Structures are given as C-alpha cells and as structure tokens.
C-alpha cells in the first residue's frame, strides 16, 4: 500500500516483474517492503545471513567482495530497477558480497520465503530472474575474460565506458559519470592499483580524452576511449609507463 504508482511503474519494467499482468504486479508490489539507506551505509555486508531479495528503486550502490588479506574487488554498480542480493537462491544463505550505497537509496525488499511463494504463484517471476541472471553472468564472463587477457589501459577504458552508459550525464563539457568515483574504485573494478589508475587517467587527461576531479570523471572524447577499450587492431598496446613518462 505504501508503494506509489511511480514505484510500481518502475517495478513493471524491472527484470523481476516483466510480463506480469497488472493484478499480479500489484500482488508482487504489495508483498514488498520499502527500505531506505543513507549514503555510504550498507544494505547488507559480506558474510551476513542472506534471506532477502532487493530491487533498487532510487539511488546507486556498489557490490564488492573483500578478501581475508583486505584486498577488495568491486563487482558491480547497481542502479534503479536493478535486482541485487538475490542470494536466497543459493544453498548457503550467506551474502558473498557487500552492498554499500554510493548515495541515498531506496529499495523494494522481499523475504526469501515471500519471494519463494511469489515464484510458485507466478512462474513468470523465476523466468524473469533467470533472464536477469543470465545477462549478469555474461557481463561477468566478459570482465573475467578481459582481466585475463587485456592490459590495464584497456580494462580501465572499458570500465569507464560501461559506467558512462550506466550513469552518464551529458554536460556542456562532456559525459560526466554521475556518481562519486575514486581512483581506488576504478582500481578495484579493473583488478589493478590506484597508482596505476592514476597514471592512466593522467595520461588520458593530457591527451584530452577525459577530465578528472576529486571522485569525478568526465569523458571528453568517448570515441577515443572506445578505441582504446575495443579496437583490436592498430594501437593494441598503450602501456602505462610509456603514456605516463613522456
């Protein structure tokens, strides 16, 4: 009942509730709670018990995994309409990742039990979830392949391009990535260090490809970046030190 028509409209286009009839959609929405979390706080933390499914309504958050040695890996940014924390669908009910917000967030929440009942009642739901997972799986496979085979520069360029599609904001200067994004974040996204990210970005700035500020990146020349990210031919190599040291 608390859900506004706007929120329901979002749910409709979301992976979870696509192709549901209006009354089914209402049932799904009615079964949800809304939960709000402040900037920098967590929806859940790695290792904690997992018995809820989330769909983000407003805001943005990051899913990351921390190793025992305090290394961190940033697996995914989640934006409005996206599903996250769908771990009740695994045997051990423990969150493998942490979900930390990047700004104020609001999300739909279903308990594992509720969601299971909904899935039994509306077979379209597990099918939708399956599609969403498959898409995510492909993305992850792509990142894995990239990490295994591509040099850093490419990986960072590609990460920036993805962020731009997810959260790009057209300004007069260029395409601003509209969220706080530190070099550390980029490093954790691309399996490198903040030092290397800094050198890469600095070199690109010198060449007029991007503009950088504190936790802020603007893409000035998207085509150029794409070329670095994807172009399989010509300048396949643009190593970090060459770029940084001249």
Partner DNA sequence: GTGCTTGTTTGCGCCAGCGCAAAGAAGCGG
Partner DNA sequence: CCGCTTCTTTGCGCTGGCGCAAACAAGCAC
Site residues, DNA (CB under 7 A): 151-153, 182-184, 191-196, 198-199, 201-202, 205, 212-215, 237, 239-242, 244-245
Q: Hey, which residues between 110 and 149 contact a copy of itself (CB under 8 A)?
A: 119-120, 123, 126-127, 129-131, 133-138, 140-141, 143-145, 147-149
Token duo for residue 150: 């591509």
241 touches, from DNA, a copy of itself, none (C-beta below 5 to 8 Å by class): DNA
For 69, phi and psi rounded to 5 degrees?
A: -85, 15
As a whole number of angstroms, the distance between CA 147 and CA 36 comes to 34
Question: H or E segment at 36?
Answer: strand 33-37
Residue number with CB closer to a copy of itself (22 or 123) = 123
Token duo for residue 44: 């859940």
Token duo for residue 211: 């503009």
Q: How far is the CB of 90 from a copy of itself (least distance, A)?
A: 5
Listed in order, strand segments (DSSP E) in 49-183 are 52-58, 61-66, 72-78, 83-84, 98-101, 105-111, 168-170, 175-177
Residue number with CB closer to a copy of itself (91 or 172) = 91
60 touches, from DNA, a copy of itself, none (C-beta below 5 to 8 Å by class): none
Q: How far is the CB of 155 from a copy of itself (least distance, A)?
A: 10
As a whole number of angstroms, the distance between CA 16 and CA 68 comes to 33
Residue number with CB closer to a copy of itself (14 or 87) = 87
Token duo for residue 21: 């009839």
Residue number with CB closer to a copy of itself (96 or 208) = 96
Task: Give the x-and-dash track for 78-97 against a copy of itself (CB under 8 A).
Answer: --------xx-xxx----xx
Q: Is the distance from CB of 180 to CB of 171 less than 8 angstroms?
A: no
As a whole number of angstroms, the distance between CA 61 and CA 158 comes to 20
Residues forming contacts to a copy of itself in the complex (CB under 8 A) are 65, 67-69, 71, 73, 75, 86-87, 89-91, 96-97, 119-120, 123, 126-127, 129-131, 133-138, 140-141, 143-145, 147-149, 191, 232, 236
């Amino acid at each position: 009942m608390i859900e506004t028509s706007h929120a329901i409209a979002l749910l409709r286009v979301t992976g979870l509730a696509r192709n549901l009839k209006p009354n089914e959609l209402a049932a799904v929405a009615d079964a949800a709670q809304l939960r709000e979390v402040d900037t920098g706080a967590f929806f859940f933390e790695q290792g904690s018990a997992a018995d809820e499914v989330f769909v983000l309504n407003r805001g943005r958050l990051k899913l990351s995994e921390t190793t025992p040695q305090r290394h961190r890996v940033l697996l995914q940014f989640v934006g409005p309409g996206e599903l996250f924390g769908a771990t009740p669908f695994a045997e051990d009910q423990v969150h493998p990742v942490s979900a930390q917000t990047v700004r104020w967030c609001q999300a739909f929440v279903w308990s594992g039990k509720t969601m299971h009942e909904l899935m039994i009642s509306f077979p379209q739901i597990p099918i939708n979830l399956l599609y969403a997972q498959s898409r995510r799986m492909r993305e992850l496979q792509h990142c894995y392949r990239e990490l295994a085979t591509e040099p850093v520069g490419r990986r960072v360029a590609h990460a920036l391009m993805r962020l731009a599609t997810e959260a790009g904001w057209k300004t007069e200067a260029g395409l601003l990535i509209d969220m706080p994004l530190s070099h550390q974040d980029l490093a954790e996204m691309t399996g490198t260090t903040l030092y290397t990210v800094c050198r890469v970005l600095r070199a690109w700035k010198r060449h007029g490809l991007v503009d950088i500020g504190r936790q802020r990146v603007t893409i000035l020349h998207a085509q150029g970046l794409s070329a670095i990210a994807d172009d399989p031919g010509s300048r396949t190599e643009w190593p970090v030190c060459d770029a940084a040291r001249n």
